[in-house]
Structures are given as structure tokens and as C-alpha cells.
Amino acid sequence: MSAREIQDEKAIAREMFVQQAAHANADVSASPLRGATICSTKSRRDYTLEPTADEFCEAADTALLPVIRVDAANLLMRVLRQLELIAKRQAPRIAFKAKGSILLLALADILAVQAEGNYVSLQHRPNPYLVHESLSSMAEKLKPYGFIRIHRSVIVNISAVEEIQPLSTGEYRLRVKGGKEYLVTRTYKHNLRDLAQLWVGSERLCG
């Protein structure tokens, strides 16, 4: 499961539970409550629990509403915490050998991958890592996880890109989180379309 799919599932689940909590509160507010009486001739702010003979009153359990609201909020918080834990467990990671050990890094924390001779450098904050792998091989492996090639020696994580600037040469300058910039050559500029799910008024930018 890709990082984007995980985020989409979290958003959908969060929206569902928010709606359920809202419906629970609305149902309790709209339904007759049991146990005490509330006089309908007064505003909600002026409701009393004293029954009267001359006014129409309905049965109400005033303790039920706040309990349901608190329970719904607590349920939502518990679900969101569980979703965060699941996302952390399912977030794609990369494993590689470094200094006699096998390190595992979350792909979301890798800003870019650069060719360094027979190695590639994983641009991970705060420390980059060298891995014995070709850039072409890394590009194929990382493509399903939101990485695009922008140069013959550079791959970037699309979720880390913050700005692109067109140049007079027909190339682009791309800035990632942390301020580092990379050149997007004309050979790979068509990949910039993948930076966003929706382009508004800019569809010819990377054509």
C-alpha cells in the first residue's frame, strides 16, 4: 500500500467517524429524553426539570445528551490514534546495508535520490546514506511510492516538492523541503505532471 493510499484511507475513515459522531449528537438532541420533564413553552436555555400542570411537557433524561457527546468524542479520538498507529506500521520503508547493519528508513523521509558513481545517495534528513545501487534500478523500485526522475542523476519524492520555477532554457528549478534545489531537464520535465493530482490553470506548464 502506497503512502498516498494510506493517507486517503485515513481521511475517509476520519470523515466517517466525524459524521457518525455528529449524527449521534443530532439524534440525541432531536429525540425525546427520559426520566425528567422539560416544558416546551420556554426556550432551551430556560428549560427546567419541574413538571407543571398547565403547560405541555415531555419526558427527558437530561444526563443522556452530554454522556453521548463525550462518548462519541472519545471514540473518535481512539479511532484516530489507532489509524495513526496503523499508518506508521504500514508506511513503506526502504532497507539497506550501512556500516555492517541493515537500516530501515521511511520512504516519506527521503527527499531525493542522487547518483554518486556506482552508488546512490539517499537524501535523508539529517544524514544522507550511500547505497550500492544504480539510479535506474532505484527509479523503477521507487516509482510506485511517489518518486519521479527529474534528471539523469536525480530522483525526487513528489511529497517533498514545495516549488517549481520555469527557466528560460525550457528547464525547471525544483525546490524541496529544507530549501535544496534541483534542476529538471527537458528530457524529464513531463514527469512534473505527477507532482499534483490537480493542476488548475497550469496544464501547459509541463507540456
3-state secondary structure of 114: strand
Residue 71 CB partners (closer than 8 Å, separation 6+): none
3-state secondary structure of 133: coil
Q: 36 forms bridges with which residues in the sheet?
A: 60
97-106 — which CB contacts under 8 Å span 24+ positions? 97/131, 98/129, 98/130, 98/131, 103/129, 105/129
3-state secondary structure of 109: helix
Classify residue 143 as exposed, middle or buried by CB count within 10 Å of its CB (0-12, 13-18, 19+).
middle
Least confidently predicted of 84-98, 101-115, 140-154:
84-98
Q: How far apart are the first and last CA of the chain?
A: 30
Which carries the bigger pLDDT value, residue 84 or residue 150? 150
Q: What is the pLDDT of residues 11-46, one digit of tens each?
A: 666 676 666 655 655 554 555 544 444 444 444 444
Q: What are phi and psi of 204, to 5 degrees?
A: -90, -5
Q: What is the mean pLDDT of residues 78-104?
A: 75
Positive or negative torsion for Cα 47, 51, 53, 57: positive
State which of 55-59, 146-150, 191-195 shows the largest mean pLDDT. 146-150
- pLDDT greater than 60 at residue 196: yes
The whole-number pLDDT of residue 56 equals 47
Which domains are delineated in the chain? 3-90 (no CATH), 93-195 (2.40.50.1020)
- pLDDT greater than 90 at residue 167: yes
Joined together, the cell numbers standing for residue 103 give 537500516
